[in-house]
Amino acid sequence: MPLYAAGQRIRASELNTLPQTYRVLTDQICNNDTNYRNAAGLAFPGEVNGVYLVEGVICYRTGLTPGIKFQWSLPAGVTGWYGLQAVVGTPSGAGGRIAWMDSSSFVNDFTANFGANGDSTLAQILSPKGVATFGSTAGTLQFRFAQSTANVSDTKILAGSCLRVTRLA
């Protein structure tokens, strides 16, 4: 990222390449439902032929029974790749492991299922990363979530979760 001096002129093309941050302002709750829902605040607009680096920190809570799953909703013609990196198992690391779920293409039906350690009061973190290339259709790329198994217990994406998006081209 460039450094600017006081009084220096900045071109619009330089401003367009600065990272944008999108975040969740209030907890997003899914209860007894396996249907995907939008995580409010975790979406960004993509332009025709735009190429974007997408990085994030998603904090969530879920019980062992419902688990949690994720996907992206995106306009037709988006290509690229993405993955999710997370600790699966005990949040303290004892018995936990790093999981890398990836896809060869940035498609809207790719899902990753993560469970919990059985204590829905403890938050866990995952980190989505990817590059999305928009084709001839502009539109919104939206992060979505649901319970893996319907269960009457709150599964949440927590306030403060965020995406950082940088336009590459």
CATH of the domain at 44: 2.60.120
Q: Is residue 139 part of a domain?
A: yes
Q: Is residue 5 part of a domain?
A: no
Q: Is residue 1 part of a domain?
A: no
| Closest alpha carbon to 103 in 85, 127, 82 | 82
Number of domains in the chain: 1
Task: Give the model confidence (pLDDT) of 69-122 as tens digits.
Answer: 888 888 888 888 887 777 655 544 444 444 555 554 555 444 555 655 555 567
Q: Is residue 43 part of a domain?
A: yes
The residue-averaged pLDDT of 136-141 equals 95
Distance CA 162, CA 92 (A): 22
Among the ranges given (16-20, 35-39, 141-145), the one the predictor scored with the smallest mean pLDDT: 16-20
Q: Is residue 144 part of a domain?
A: yes
Q: 97 is in which domain, residue-wise?
A: 19-167
Q: Is residue 14 part of a domain?
A: no
5 vs 49, more confident: 49
Q: Is residue 142 part of a domain?
A: yes
